[in-house]
């Protein structure tokens, strides 16, 4: 297949990192609406961090056809936004005297498995509606860590693609040179 100048990239909705970020956004929106006090600056911060995690994946995918640099930057912004959100959930647990699930706890292990098996919003929304806030916060912490890992792997793939295939400018030059030769 001939190389294209502006290749059509895959659907961002198929990315596991996006699916996980979408779940995190929906859970966070629910969490903030139900368990934080309106007017608290943390509410807006958490929603914006969750939204940024999701939206920057979308924007990075949209830019991917013509700018590997922009895609990499935006995926990294998504990763950073979710790290900010992670800290907010951890702060929620600490400031209210709730337990954060330990690394070897049965709850954390079970949630990791659920996170590996499911990426659909409705599955998790049905689950959180019957859970107390400290459980929801812990669930989201696990999902954020999984999303962080997926975004890390995505960044590694983007780096590898760039190193092996180059970027848009190199593709333009390569296609123009090949066109002149033929």
pLDDT digits (tens, 9 = 90+) for 114-168: 999 999 999 999 999 999 999 999 999 999 999 999 999 999 998 887 777 766 5
- What average pLDDT score do residues 85-103 get? 98
CB proximity list for 6: less than 8 A, separation 6 or greater: 65, 66
pTM: 0.87
Longest dimension (CA), the chain: 71
Report how far residue 176's alpha carbon sits from residue 154's, in angstroms, rounded to the nearest whole number.
30
Q: Are 47 and 31 in contact (CB under 8 A)?
A: no
**Number of alpha carbons in the 13 Å side-chain half-sphere of residue 9:** 18
Give the span between the Cα atoms of 47 and 171, in whole angstroms.
38
Read off the pLDDT of residues 15-71 as tens digits, 9 standing for 90 and up.
999 999 999 999 999 999 999 998 889 999 999 999 999 999 999 988 766 677 888
Q: How far is CA 91 from CA 96, 99, 122, 143, 182, in A?
A: 8, 11, 26, 16, 62
């Amino acid at each position: 297949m001939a190389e294209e100048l502006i290749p059509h990239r895959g659907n961002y909705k198929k990315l596991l990192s996006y699916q996980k970020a979408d779940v995190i956004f929906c859970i966070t929106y629910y969490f903030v609406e139900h368990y934080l006090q309106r007017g608290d600056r943390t509410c807006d911060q958490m929603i914006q961090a969750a939204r940024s995690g999701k939206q920057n994946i979308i924007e990075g995918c949209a830019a991917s056809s013509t700018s590997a640099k922009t895609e990499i930057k935006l995926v990294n912004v998504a990763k950073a936004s979710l790290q900010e959100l992670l800290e907010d959930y951890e702060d929620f647990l600490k400031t209210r005297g709730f337990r954060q699930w330990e690394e070897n706890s049965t709850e954390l292990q079970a949630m990791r498995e659920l996170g590996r098996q499911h990426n659909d919003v409705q599955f998790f929304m049905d689950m959180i509606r019957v859970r107390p806030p400290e459980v929801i916060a812990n669930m989201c912490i696990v999902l954020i860590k999984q999303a962080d890992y997926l975004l890390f792997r995505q960044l590694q793939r983007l780096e590898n693609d760039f190193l092996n295939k180059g970027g848009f400018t190199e593709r333009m030059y390569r296609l123009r040179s090949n066109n002149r030769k033929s």
